[in-house]
């Protein structure tokens, strides 16, 4: 059972009651991420996520995590390109403590100068670790290739020089502008007393007030036909190929999910069966959509020995062209409707996953997306919808490319897929 309402201060609240569980997941999701940053601010959203755990007026950094872990709960956070989320999960009997700790972090963090300097070292090590991971590097350079100078191209972690430039004043100013009740949602899923929960949310979050009603406005970029390459002394060549995708909550979003599932979404997909199983050119190959407000991409990833790269790219390009023109038969459509319905339902087995899904839907669409709504939309996917997505996303072919490896001829590889 869902409930959606707004506090007097503008904070939206979405709750979902589940009778058969004894847990509760609580999260505050803010419409702020690397896409909201200027170039000089890049990385500050992720850095702020870290700093909210570094102590309040009444809790030390250790106390914040210890109070939740001592009751067997979990506390964490993540930053993406468009959102930041702070969340907890515990037994439903600990709802009051969860709300207390979460609100204390969000509203009373000290941002101590000494802690800021220490955390710079932590985040710089996180950046170094990411740069040692070829798939992370690939994702970052491909974002720059396909999104150009738009803030969607900015790395979520930021840069080492950028992290070093942050200070308390800059952090506080950014929070004052970008962390408001108006661009935030509190999402709760699990077993609770609705009346008691409403009172507790008002008690802990009702005093959150800001002078500005910040509502993010994004410039929608065009997709660039560019290529990027980073030289790394590693065994494999990692490849990411970019296609036109669909924006978040597009009417044809589930049709794209279905087609992606057929083309490269699993072990029975065209790409996996052809490139790996039949030809043995790689261990990993798959495709996946990335959706943002106003724009989206469809990506094809593979990691393989560079000696097989030419052949693999030829096969991927050939299969993409054939798939975009042949489409799928009625039986394949029927089977994959069931597959993506099952995947969606299985993905909502935990209170945490449902809490995240509800938060994002309300934050970015201002509405609840029920399981029945989603199943109904999947069931209604028609041949016309499939043809439309093939035309929009698959037929234009590969737009951009990115490579991470050593000693490759990028021009030669690009000539295969252009």
pLDDT tens digits along 159-171: 999 999 999 999 9
Residue 49 known to be catalytic: yes
**Is the domain of 181 the same as that of 315?**
no
CATH of the domain at 115: 3.30.830.10
Quick one: average pLDDT of 347-353? 92
pLDDT at residue number 346: 92
The label of the residue with tokens 């199983």 reads: 277
Rounded to the nearest integer, the mean pLDDT of the chain is: 97
For residue 289, what pLDDT band results from cuts at 50, 70 and 90?
A: very high
**Is the domain of 179 the same as that of 148?**
yes
- Percent of the chain residues past pLDDT 70, beyond the cut: 100
Quick one: average pLDDT of 130-151? 97
pLDDT at residue number 418: 81
Chain-centroid distance of CA 381 in Å reads 25
Quick one: average pLDDT of 375-396? 97
**Is the domain of 94 the same as that of 200?**
yes
* Residue 51: Cβ within 10 Å count: 23
**Is the domain of 175 the same as that of 293?**
no
Strand order across the 74-79 sheet: 2-6, 12-17, 184-190, 23-30, 84-91, 74-79
pLDDT at residue number 214: 83
Task: Please state the domain count of the chain.
Answer: 2
For residue 46 the two structure tokens come to 């992720």
**Is the domain of 349 the same as that of 279?**
yes
Residue 191 and residue 21 in contact, taking contact as beta carbons nearer than 8 Å: yes
218 in any annotated domain: no
219 in any annotated domain: no
**Is the domain of 263 the same as that of 137?**
no
pLDDT digits (tens, 9 = 90+) for 75-92: 999 999 999 999 999 999
Backbone angles phi, psi at 145, to 5 degrees: -65, -40
Angle at 244 between CA 332 and CA 261, to 5 degrees: 25
215 in any annotated domain: no
Q: Which of 142, 173, 205 is the last residue of a domain?
A: 205
Residue 120 and residue 50 in contact, taking contact as beta carbons nearer than 8 Å: no
pLDDT at residue number 412: 96
Kindly tell me if the per-residue pLDDT of 215 is higher than 90: no
Residue 168 and residue 329 in contact, taking contact as beta carbons nearer than 8 Å: no
Q: Which of 205, 239, 261 is the last residue of a domain?
A: 205
pLDDT at residue number 157: 98
For residue 103 the two structure tokens come to 């609100």
- Percent of the chain residues past pLDDT 90, beyond the cut: 96
For residue 71 the two structure tokens come to 């009751």
309 in any annotated domain: yes
The Cα–Cα gap between 289 and 258 comes to 11
Strand 237-244 to 400-405 pairing: antiparallel
* Residue 32: Cβ within 10 Å count: 27
Quick one: average pLDDT of 45-55? 98
Quick one: average pLDDT of 176-190? 96
Residue 113 and residue 168 in contact, taking contact as beta carbons nearer than 8 Å: yes
**Is the domain of 139 the same as that of 239?**
no
216 in any annotated domain: no
Kindly tell me if the per-residue pLDDT of 383 is higher than 90: yes
Please name the residues in contact with 30: beta carbons below 8 A apart, sequence gap of 6 or more.
Answer: 83, 84, 85, 178, 179, 183, 184, 363
The Cα–Cα gap between 23 and 252 comes to 35
pLDDT at residue number 368: 94
For residue 213, what pLDDT band results from cuts at 50, 70 and 90?
A: confident
**Is the domain of 172 the same as that of 295?**
no
Q: Calculate the alpha carbon distances from 67 to 57, 89, 93, 203, 302 in Å.
A: 15, 12, 14, 20, 43
Catalytic residue among 16, 37, 49, 115: 49
326 in any annotated domain: yes
221 in any annotated domain: no
Backbone angles phi, psi at 396, to 5 degrees: -65, -20
> Which pTM was predicted?
0.96
Radius of gyration of the chain from its Cα atoms, rounded to whole angstroms: 23
How does 115-133 read in b/e, with b if 16+ C-beta sit within 10 Å?
A: bbeebbeebbebbeebbee
Region at 417 (left for phi over 0; alpha for psi -120 to 50; beta for the rest): alpha
**Is the domain of 173 the same as that of 238?**
no
**Is the domain of 262 the same as that of 181?**
no
pLDDT digits (tens, 9 = 90+) for 305-348: 999 999 999 999 999 999 999 999 999 999 999 999 999 999 88
Kindly tell me if the per-residue pLDDT of 56 is higher than 90: yes
Q: What residue numbers bound the domain in which 320 lies?
A: 227-417
For residue 210, what pLDDT band results from cuts at 50, 70 and 90?
A: confident
**Is the domain of 283 the same as that of 346?**
yes
Kindly tell me if the per-residue pLDDT of 247 is higher than 90: yes
211 in any annotated domain: no
**Is the domain of 142 the same as that of 239?**
no
The Cα–Cα gap between 179 and 173 comes to 10
């Amino acid at each position: 059972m869902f409930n959606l309402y707004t506090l007097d201060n503008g904070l939206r609240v979405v709750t979902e009651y589940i009778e058969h569980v004894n847990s509760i997941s609580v999260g505050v999701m803010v419409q702020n991420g690397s896409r909201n940053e200027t170039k000089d601010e890049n990385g500050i959203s992720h850095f702020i996520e870290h700093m909210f755990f570094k102590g309040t007026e009444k809790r030390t950094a250790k106390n914040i995590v210890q109070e939740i872990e001592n009751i067997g709960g979990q506390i964490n956070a993540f930053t993406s390109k468009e959102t930041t989320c702070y969340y907890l999960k515990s037994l439903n009997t600990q709802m009051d403590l969860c709300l207390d700790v979460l609100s204390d972090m969000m509203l009373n963090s000290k941002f101590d100068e000494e802690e800021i300097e220490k955390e710079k070292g932590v985040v710089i090590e996180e950046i170094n670790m990411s740069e040692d991971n070829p798939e992370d590097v690939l994702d970052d350079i491909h974002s720059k290739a396909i999104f150009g100078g738009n803030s969607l191209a900015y790395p979520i972690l930021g840069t080492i020089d950028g992290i070093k430039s942050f200070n308390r004043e800059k952090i506080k100013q950014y929070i004052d502008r970008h962390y408001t009740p108006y661009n935030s949602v509190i999402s709760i899923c699990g077993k609770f007393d609705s009346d008691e929960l409403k009172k507790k949310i008002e008690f802990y979050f009702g005093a959150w007030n800001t002078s500005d009603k910040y509502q993010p406005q994004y410039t929608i970029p065009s997709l660039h036909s560019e290529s990027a390459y980073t030289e790394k002394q590693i065994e494999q060549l990692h490849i990411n190929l970019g296609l036109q995708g669909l924006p978040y909550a597009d009417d044809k979003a589930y049709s794209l999910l279905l087609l992606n599932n057929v083309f490269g979404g699993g072990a029975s997909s065209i790409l996996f069966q052809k490139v790996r199983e039949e030809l043995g050119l790689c261990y990993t190959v798959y495709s996946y959509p990335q959706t943002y407000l106003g724009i989206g991409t469809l990506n094809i990833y593979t990691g393989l020995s560079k000696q097989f790269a030419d052949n693999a790219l030829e096969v991927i390009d050939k299969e993409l062209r054939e798939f975009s023109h042949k489409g799928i038969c009625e039986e394949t459509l029927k089977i994959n409707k069931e597959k993506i319905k099952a995947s969606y339902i299985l993905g909502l087995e935990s209170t945490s996953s449902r809490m995240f899904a509800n938060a994002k839907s309300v934050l970015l669409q201002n509405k609840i997306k029920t399981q029945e709504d989603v199943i109904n939309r999947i069931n209604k996917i028609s041949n016309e919808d499939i043809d439309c997505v093939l035309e929009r996303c698959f037929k234009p072919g590969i737009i951009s490319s990115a490579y991470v490896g050593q000693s490759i001829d990028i021009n030669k590889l690009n000539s295969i897929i252009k």
